[in-house]
Amino acid sequence: MFRNYDFYLRGKNTEIYPLICLMDCLFIGQHVIELSSVDSTNNYLIDLSENKSLVEGTVVVAKKQIEGKGQRNNRWASEVGKSLCISILLKPKLDVSQQFLFNKFIALSLCQALNNYSLTTVIKWPNDILIDSKKVAGILIENSIRGNKIEKSIVGIGVNINNNISQFPSATSLADYLNTKPSNSELLELICKNIEKNYFLLKQKPSMINELYHQNLFQKGLVQKFSKNDESFDGIINSVNDNGQLLVDVNGCLEFYNMGEIKFMF
């Protein structure tokens, strides 16, 4: 699957591995930077892309991530050899109004990549990936906007492969559902392949991305308990709109919620 490939490395905490070019992809993963240790792969790729011209599809993989960033300024914990921590550089040149569609495309691609292992993963709004209502993977997308276009997108993905997650009751890892632990490189390749496949769809038939996202949306059409300002309520999940708002039918009335405004209760 892989062939050796020259790649650029920076910093003290990097080591050179005989890495890899994802053979089944056209452009994603044709330039892979593997780091032994880094603060955050997203930060690393943001800095590098500001100082060096990088090809679209450049991937950064870290064995150890010390200050992994999660959504809403949370930390993302990972364990050496037990988690996949990657960032991918894309230059989508989409209109800013399509920012959330871009999120949907990445969440869908990650969901499909994991489903390759005969798992049933779903996307919990806005873009967490769950198995059996527990989080197995997370996405942090950091965009640079120029004019009204998304010029550069750093797509950070963390997957729990066989993490020790017993202290996190709302998390799970792939190993809990598989007989054989997937290798990091195999998982990386699957993710890149699915992103690449859907990237063409995103550009040519964006409505399809929206449809597929909703087909995989956690609790769509079902009654879900939420909490808002410490009060709980039930609602039926209707959809996620272009602004990334969750549309919920509450007592027959369609309510629009922004990210962070409500919490799912289990």
Binding flag, residue 126, ligand BTN (CB under 6 A): no
CA angle centred on 43, ends 70 and 69, rounded to 5°: 10
Task: Compute and round to an integer the Cα radius of gyration of the chain.
Answer: 18
The answer to the question of residue 244 lying near ligand BTN (CB under 6 A) is no
Name which of 64 and 149 has its Cβ closer to ligand BTN.
64
Instruction: Name the residue with the smallest CB distance to ligand BTN.
Output: 138
For residue 63, give the nearest of 78, 73, 53 by alpha carbon.
78
Measured from the CB of residue 46, what is the shortest distance to ligand BTN in angstroms?
10
Which residue, 128 or 196, has its beta carbon nearer to ligand BTN?
128
Q: Which of 4, 36, 74, 258 binds ligand BTN (CB under 6 A)?
A: 74
- C-beta of 20 vs 62, nearer to ligand BTN: 62
Cβ burial, residue 5 (10 Å; 0-12/13-18/19+): middle
With binding defined as CB under 6 A, does residue 130 bind ligand BTN? Answer: no
User: C-beta of 114: minimal distance to ligand BTN in Å?
Assistant: 14
Interaction of residue 264 with ligand BTN, rule CB under 6 A = no
Per rule CB under 6 A, count of chain residues that contact ligand BTN:
19
| Cα 217 from Cα 108, distance rounded (Å) | 9
User: Which residues does 17 contact at the CB level (< 8 Å), separation at least 6?
Assistant: 34
Find the binder of ligand BTN among 54, 123, 139, 187 (CB under 6 A): 139
Question: Does 40 engage in binding with ligand BTN (CB under 6 A)?
Answer: yes
User: Residue 68 interacts with ligand BTN (CB under 6 A)?
Assistant: yes
140: contact with ligand BTN by CB under 6 A? yes
Residues 6+ apart with CB under 8 A from 75: 67, 68, 69
Q: Beta strands 32-38 and 59-65: pairing type?
A: parallel
Stretch of 9-17, 156-164, 168-176, 241-249 lying at the interface with ligand BTN (CB under 6 A): 156-164
DSSP for 65-132 reads ESS-B-GGG-B----TTTEEEEEEEE---EEGGGHHHHHHHHHHHHHHHHHTTS--EEEETTTEEEET
Q: Which of 44/257 has CB closer to ligand BTN?
A: 44
Tell which one of 29, 92, 126, 156 touches ligand BTN (CB under 6 A): 156
State the residues that interact with ligand BTN by CB under 6 A.
40-42, 68-71, 74, 76, 85-87, 128, 138-140, 156-158
